[in-house]
């Protein structure tokens, strides 16, 4: 039994150290009220299930991600570093050469390196060597999707966040698009 646990532990540690060596692009980092840190990333495409709901790894070029976590300025009761759920996030990826674009809704994902995050595999609207602009649109949850208790409404207000948009230009996804997780 000890050998099995040791073997599983070793595999887990090796997989984490391997994951650290994979290329990943931090596109940007922003802090918004009430105490939320947003990290925008371009990552290697991945095998995400259920297939049919998410674009298959072999049909994608990259994986776009937004990590949304409570920070040190978060409201009382929020766990620092904890996932901020129910945000509505879309990304519009535009080829800066052709002006072709694609808009995708980033869905909640779960993996071992980032844990909960918003993401989506996508096929770039053009050549992988082109430069891209990505606009992220972050909205509060749809009405009725999350209940707001009296104490939250009194201290923070009747919404989770104010809508924000961030645009990042001249993004080169070539290295990421040519990489593989396995």
pLDDT tens for each residue of 89-102: 999 999 999 999 99
For 104, what's the count of Cα atoms within 13 Å in the CB-facing half-sphere? Answer: 25
Q: Show me where the domains of the chain are located.
A: 23-177
Name residue, tokens 């050998």: 3
Buried b vs exposed e over 102-136: b needs ≥16 C-beta within 10 Å?
A: eebebeebeeeebeebbbbbbbbbbebebebbbbb
CATH superfamily of 23-177: Periplasmic metal-binding protein Tp34-type (2.60.40.2480)
Buried b vs exposed e over 54-73: b needs ≥16 C-beta within 10 Å?
A: bbebeebbbbbbbbbbbbee
Mean pLDDT of the chain: 89
pTM, two decimals, is 0.86
Task: Tell me if 74 sits within 8 A of 42, measured CB to CB.
Answer: no
Give the rounded percent of residues in the chain with a pLDDT score beyond 90. 80
pLDDT at 71 over 90: yes
**What is the C-alpha to C-alpha distance for residues 136 and 116, in angstroms, rounded to an integer?**
18
**What is the C-alpha to C-alpha distance for residues 44 and 61, in angstroms, rounded to an integer?**
8
Q: What is the pLDDT of residues 60-69, one digit of tens each?
A: 999 999 999 9
The token pair at 130 is 């082109």
pLDDT at 14 over 80: no
Q: What is the pLDDT of residues 19-42, one digit of tens each?
A: 446 678 999 999 999 999 999 999
DSSP per position, 59-85: G-SEEEEEEEEE-TTSPTTPPTT-B--
In this predicted structure, what is the pLDDT of residue 18?
43
């Amino acid at each position: 039994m000890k050998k099995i646990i040791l073997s599983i532990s070793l595999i887990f540690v090796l997989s984490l150290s391997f994951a650290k060596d994979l290329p990943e692009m931090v596109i940007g980092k922003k802090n918004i009220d009430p105490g939320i840190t947003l990290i925008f990333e371009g990552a290697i495409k991945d095998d995400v299930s259920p297939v049919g709901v998410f674009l298959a790894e072999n049909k994608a070029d990259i994986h776009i991600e937004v990590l949304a976590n409570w920070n040190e300025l978060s409201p009382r009761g929020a766990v620092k570093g904890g996932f901020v759920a129910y945000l509505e996030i879309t990304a519009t990826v535009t080829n800066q050469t052709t002006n072709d674009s694609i808009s995708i809704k980033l869905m909640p994902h779960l993996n071992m390196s980032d844990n909960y995050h918003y993401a989506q595999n996508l096929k770039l609207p053009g050549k992988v060597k082109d430069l891209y602009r990505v606009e992220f649109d972050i909205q509060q949850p749809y009405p009725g999707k999350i209940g707001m208790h009296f104490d939250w409404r009194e201290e923070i207000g009747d919404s989770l966040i104010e809508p924000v948009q961030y645009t990042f230009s001249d993004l080169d996804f070539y290295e990421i698009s040519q990489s593989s997780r396995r």
